[in-house]
Structure 1
């Protein structure tokens, strides 16, 4: 069986994350929102809170796994893209916001292990 491309695996992971978040009551505002500052995988609404969701997929955890793949530089890019989103989408400019990460990793059995980390950038 041919290897799945990483782009296809990434899109599948985003769809899995989207379905999971919608099952938890979040509403989709934007998907793959692009701007000059970068891309926002999912922008969701949780009650009155705008949630910027970064979806990370890793087939193997040998390089630190999905959560560990978000370094300081990646966080800064996401924050800048989110600020740009709020400037362009005036309706949400004054809403409370947070950054979540949905990390999906393949298990040895081939299943996907989904970990939703709310307020991922609050240390």
Structure 2
């Protein structure tokens, strides 16, 4: 299983090949951390990267719990306070299970 940094490197490289532009990596605030902040066309994308050696116990997807989603949403709110944007936002996830990489667009939504 790749380290967190290696998984983020792999995810960032993959997303760049898909046409996204990297704006920030490991952006931190009191509320938490955002692995990757990217721009996809006219959208601001907050990306959570999760890596697991296998799909046992639910794999990488199962590790993005409602509590984790809440921390990501709060961190994104802080990011937007410091970096105002008129672009629509979304939350994506890059899941790495062993050698398999899966990109989930709109992995979850912030409550209205």
TM category (shorter chain) comes to: over 0.9
Question: Hey, what's the Cα distance between the residues in 1 that align with 2:78 and 2:23?
Answer: 15
1:19 aligned residue: 13
Partner SS for 1:43? strand
Runs of 4+ in structure 1 off by over 2 angstroms are none
1:19-41 Cα distance to aligned partner (Å, 9 max, x none): 00000000000000000000000
Q: Report Cα offsets for 1:68-119 as digits up to 9, x if no partner.
A: 11110000000000000000112x2x2100000000011xxxxx10000000
Unaligned runs of 5+ in 1: 107-111
The structure with the largest alpha-carbon Rg is 1
Q: Distance in 2 between matches of 1:86 and 1:65?
A: 30
Matched with 2:22 is: 28
101, 108, 112: which is aligned to 1:114?
101
Query: Which among 58, 62, 75 is matched to residue 69 of structure 2?
Result: 75
Does residue 1:102 correspond to 2:94, yes or no?
Answer: yes
Question: TM-score, normalised to structure 2's length?
Answer: 0.93
User: Does residue 66 in structure 1 map to residue 53 in structure 2?
Assistant: no
Gaps of 5+ in 2: none
Give the Cα–Cα distance (whole angstroms) in 2 for the partners of residues 47 and 60 of structure 1: 33
Cα distance in structure 1, aligned partners of 2:89 and 2:97: 26
How many residue pairs end up in the alignment? 109
Q: TM-score, normalised by structure 1?
A: 0.85
CA distance in 2 between counterparts of 1:64 and 1:41 reads 21
Instruction: Pick 1 or 2: higher relative contact order, CA cutoff 8 A, min separation 6.
Output: 2
RMSD: 1.2
Distance 2:78 2:57 in 1: 31
